[in-house]
Chain A
């Protein structure tokens, strides 16, 4: 067991998956000799060779489309899209093809592929490098959407995604790549998909988050604890298909719910969670559901970005509002 960063955990999971399954190939821009701009694919080229680690020309739609062709032929492609700002051209491939190939052909052709991409802001990156488009993907039936919140979870969820027979988008929080460090055992054990994880138990308010916001929610829970408020923190981990049961069970217990994400408010995935809580836990609610999110604006460039992102303080404030309500 060694302490590794989230990006190293991704690297370990990729190497493990390639080691155990010859069908796994990695492709994308600069994933070979460069090892990926964040080094997620470092050393893979040297270890597995140019037939399994493919530097592609600069063509996002084709990276996704080629992965579909490979997957339909029995490979297990893991594609990297360098930043989520460049991921929009592949929505066509994912929505029109990858996510529906099994349905369209009644299971004759399937699409076991993973698209990895860094997501979110907070690293003072240039324009188009800080977006959080998870809700767009979560709206596509048949596409699994996964956002890890820690090195351990990144390792296990990525292995599970690669082993899964369905297509998945795997969004890696950029700000955690190097900041989050944790003991990760490279044991090849995956973490179950389609499950929310209770990170911390509490009885007064449920804080729901994914990706980098899980850490902020945990910090908020620490702050709240100082004032005697016991917050339960849930890491959603897989957005689609959503494990609403874990969230509903928690809110029925606490009676209060704060959902947080970096993406804009309107149409964000927090709205889906709030709706489900409203449908299934309304009578348990002691206060309106709070959403702590980015704003419905273009994400600001680095000089102002800290004012855009939700953080532990905003989450704690929202939790206190729910406590004050009733």
Chain B
């Protein structure tokens, strides 16, 4: 019997800044532009401010269950930073920072997490998908979007973000495989935040890296320090531009850490040592970039104070706007089921109106 190597592969890992904000290796070209760097920094701070406000609203009974992105903001901010407006984002449910950067408004995000469907009727990025709660089930949608773009010969790219848990799912495997076969313009990003609710990365897959799942699908796969927004922006930019130029799909595994509970309904202390979280706080992305910007003279204490004030004003105004927005009329429950309301549904709707009126006899309070 003879044997030989049938295939071999390497998974590259990239990082620009170490946790203390020191440069490791050559920086990407965009990093020469101080304004661009502060733009990325603002996006991180905006994400974190939104997050803090959302958690505060939930804790005071004014928002629904919320999935915080604390500690992993750099992943979606870096990825979206590399997208063009005409590209299409197909997110999971923890990409608030990236969604905000796409032009989804904080008010829309508050509405969605506050239980109002209008929060997914984005005024800005009209073709972006809403969040996907069933884990990984949206990966095939990105493939369909990418196929549409390719069939129309448009130089646009679909970008799909999901977590380490999703990487175990069959629909994700199917999506990666088909994107590879058809060489579609799509970037898949695994936000590996080390925890799928209570299941740690080591119990999710025996593979050395999640990035190597790309190899089985015949596409490029890389690991990136997901808490380093510069590295994220650089890796995503390269992958997106390859896709835009007909060079097919890519998979990035962004290594980050979920500093928060899974959602506001979760208590991570049941399954995770606080000491692990404490040490991971040393690597978080906001401080890392701020240190670099401060060290290189792009950012001052005044800039920081000004940004925090400005962001607080924006987020507070959005929260107030959300709280002041009345629920949509009752008929909206039925209005979007089909393009036209079938007679059967019309009679169910009428009985709902009657029930609402019976329980709230003051007719004005029942908004149709």
Chain B residues numbered 110-161 whose CB sits less than 8 Å from any CB in chain A: 117-118, 120-122, 126-127, 129-130, 132-134, 137-149, 151, 158
Residues of B within 8 A of A70 (CB): 144-145, 147-148
The number of residues on chain A lying at the interface, defined by a beta carbon within 8 Å of a beta carbon of chain B, is 47
Contact A68-B140, Cβ < 8 Å, known A106-B117, A107-B336, A142-B338: yes
Does A164 sit within 8 A of B, measured CB to CB?
Answer: yes
B343 engages A69 (CB within 8 Å): no
Instruction: Tell which of A89-97, A127-135, A170-178, A262-270 binds the partner.
Output: A89-97
A245 to B342, CA, bound (A): 12
Residues of B within 8 A of A166 (CB): 338-339
Which residue of chain A lies nearest to B88 when distances are taken between CB atoms in the complex?
A: A73
A69 engages B130 (CB within 8 Å): no
A57 to B337, CA, bound (A): 31
Residues of B within 8 A of A97 (CB): 132, 134, 137-138, 141
Residues of A within 8 A of B117 (CB): 103-106
A108 engages B137 (CB within 8 Å): no
Contact A164-B121, Cβ < 8 Å, known A72-B145, A92-B134: no
Minimal beta-carbon separation of B344 from chain A (angstroms): 5
A57 engages B178 (CB within 8 Å): yes
Does A74 sit within 8 A of B, measured CB to CB?
Answer: yes
Does A194 sit within 8 A of B, measured CB to CB?
Answer: yes
- A104 partner, pick from B130, B145, B174, beta carbons under 8 A: B130
Residues of B within 8 A of A25 (CB): 151
Minimal beta-carbon separation of A210 from chain B (angstroms): 16
Does A78 sit within 8 A of B, measured CB to CB?
Answer: no
Minimal beta-carbon separation of B223 from chain A (angstroms): 25
Minimal beta-carbon separation of B132 from chain A (angstroms): 8
Interface string of B342-363 (1 = CB under 8 A from A): 1111000000000000000000
A59 engages B178 (CB within 8 Å): yes
A-B contact count (CB 8 A): 138
A62 engages B175 (CB within 8 Å): yes
B171 engages A92 (CB within 8 Å): yes
Minimal beta-carbon separation of A239 from chain B (angstroms): 11
Minimal beta-carbon separation of B86 from chain A (angstroms): 12
Which residue of chain A lies nearest to B117 when distances are taken between CB atoms in the complex?
A: A106
B137 engages A92 (CB within 8 Å): yes
Main secondary structure on B side of the interface with A: helix
- A105 partner, pick from B90, B120, B141, beta carbons under 8 A: B120
A106 engages B118 (CB within 8 Å): yes
B140 engages A108 (CB within 8 Å): no
Minimal beta-carbon separation of A160 from chain B (angstroms): 13
A61 to B138, CA, bound (A): 11
Minimal beta-carbon separation of A277 from chain B (angstroms): 14
Interface string of A218-245 (1 = CB under 8 A from B): 0000000000000000000000011111
Residues of B within 8 A of A93 (CB): 137, 140, 171
Chain A residues numbered 50-72 whose CB sits less than 8 Å from any CB in chain B: 51, 54, 56-57, 59, 61-62, 64-72
Interface string of B301-345 (1 = CB under 8 A from A): 000000000000000000000000000000010001111001111
Residues of A within 8 A of B344 (CB): 241-244
Residues of B within 8 A of A245 (CB): 343
Does A86 sit within 8 A of B, measured CB to CB?
Answer: no
Minimal beta-carbon separation of A213 from chain B (angstroms): 22
A109 to B117, CA, bound (A): 12
B342 engages A241 (CB within 8 Å): yes
Interface string of B156-184 (1 = CB under 8 A from A): 00100000000000110011011001000
Residues of A within 8 A of B140 (CB): 61-62, 64-66, 68-69, 93
Which residue of chain A lies nearest to B144 when distances are taken between CB atoms in the complex?
A: A69
Contact A62-B143, Cβ < 8 Å, known A75-B148, A92-B134, A106-B120: yes
Question: Which are the 3 A-B pairs with shortest beta-carbon distances?
Answer: A69-B144, A65-B140, A73-B148
**Residue contacts A-B, CB under 8 angstroms, 12 given:** A56-B178, A66-B140, A68-B144, A69-B143, A70-B148, A72-B127, A72-B145, A73-B149, A92-B171, A97-B137, A164-B339, A241-B345
Q: A72-B129, A89-B170, A243-B344 are in contact. List 18 more A-B contacts (CB 8 A).
A: A51-B151, A57-B178, A65-B139, A65-B174, A69-B140, A69-B146, A71-B144, A72-B141, A72-B144, A73-B127, A77-B144, A93-B171, A96-B134, A97-B134, A97-B138, A102-B339, A108-B121, A165-B339
User: Measuring CB to CB, which residues of chain B are less than 8 angstroms from any residue of chain A?
Assistant: 88, 90, 117-118, 120-122, 126-127, 129-130, 132-134, 137-149, 151, 158, 170-171, 174-175, 177-178, 181, 332, 336-339, 342-345
User: Measuring CB to CB, which residues of chain A are less than 8 angstroms from any residue of chain B?
Assistant: 25, 51, 54, 56-57, 59, 61-62, 64-75, 77, 89, 92-93, 96-97, 102-110, 141-142, 144, 164-166, 194, 241-245
